Amino acid sequence: MPEHHESTAVSNDHYHRLRADCANCFGLCCVALPFSASVDFAVDKQAGQRCHNLGDHFRCGVHQDLRNIGFRGCTVYDCFGAGQQVAQVTYSGEDWVKAPETAKRMFEVFPIMRQLHELLWYLTEALELEHTQSIHEALRSVLDETERLTSLSAEALLKLDIAAHRANVNVLLLQTSELVRASVQRQPKGSRGRQKSYGRGSDLIGANLRGADLRGAHLRGAYLIAADLREADLRSADLIGADFRDADLSGADLTGSLFLTQFQINAAKGDTYTKLPKSLSRPPHWTASA
């Protein structure tokens, strides 16, 4: 069965702007975002409150030990490069410590920018797929518009109707998904049958999907928390928004899957045999458990 292929080779450099660059950020995820004491975080923290682990020069003082001291959530989070965009472009390198009057607004802008950068990630991927040639012009247009929005002033970003923009982008992402998944051919007669189709937001928490044939599956927003996906085939599956927390992807094939992000991969379990798209990196904690 042919899986979908990029029209041009994907390189890590191509996604460089959409990767977190903590050295050029102001520790925004460590201050702007709230979290609650849970399996992912050892303490409660309110939005705008500085994490007690944030040290000088906006670097985490316990980065190497985060998973061991109860801050697993920090190792999962990914800003899609929104941190350095806000720090170096929106605020031109002026940080919230030296200019405290910028803090509140900067922290409010950060999650908006993250949403825009997440959309850029999806649109960039969609444009590189051979099956989306028929909608390339529309994809390019909305990508350019999203790029323009990331350059707006803080004041303009706070007035932006981000929900409406996401809805507009999602129309094209859905078309992308349909075009790619429609290209997945039926299995030859006599081979293992394809697993049932799943709808958006399917409850697959703890599901036994080991070795499942999920090629071209519709798994948008699916709850795959702690699911057993060992050796599963997820090529050409739409995984946008799927919750992979503690899902076991050991030996699974995710090459060619649609709209998978580093955030989702970081939340899952995997091993050296897990096959990932070229745009994503194998999480360090996978190596330890392989």
Read off the pLDDT of residues 157-213 as tens digits, 9 standing for 90 and up.
999 999 999 999 999 999 999 999 998 864 444 344 454 568 778 999 999 999 999
CA pair distance 100, 97, nearest whole angstrom:
5
What is the structure's pLDDT at 185?
60
- Give the SS3 label for residue 221: coil
CA pair distance 239, 266, nearest whole angstrom:
14
Percent of the chain with pLDDT over 70: 89
- Higher pLDDT, residue 47 or 288: 47
CA pair distance 55, 17, nearest whole angstrom:
25
User: Interhelix angle for 136-150 vs 162-182, to 10°?
Assistant: 150
- Give the SS3 label for residue 267: helix
Query: Cα 125 to chain center, whole Å?
Result: 12
Q: pLDDT by residue (tens digit) across 15-39? A: 788 999 999 999 999 999 999 999 9
| CA-based torsion, 226, 28, 110, 257: positive or negative | negative
What is the structure's pLDDT at 127?
95
CA pair distance 54, 56, nearest whole angstrom:
7
Query: Cα 148 to chain center, whole Å?
Result: 21
Beta carbons within 8 Å of 168's beta carbon, 6+ residues apart: 142
Domains of the chain, start order = 13-33+77-182 (no CATH), 198-290 (2.160.20.80)
Q: What is the mean pLDDT of the chain?
A: 90
What is the structure's pLDDT at 56?
85
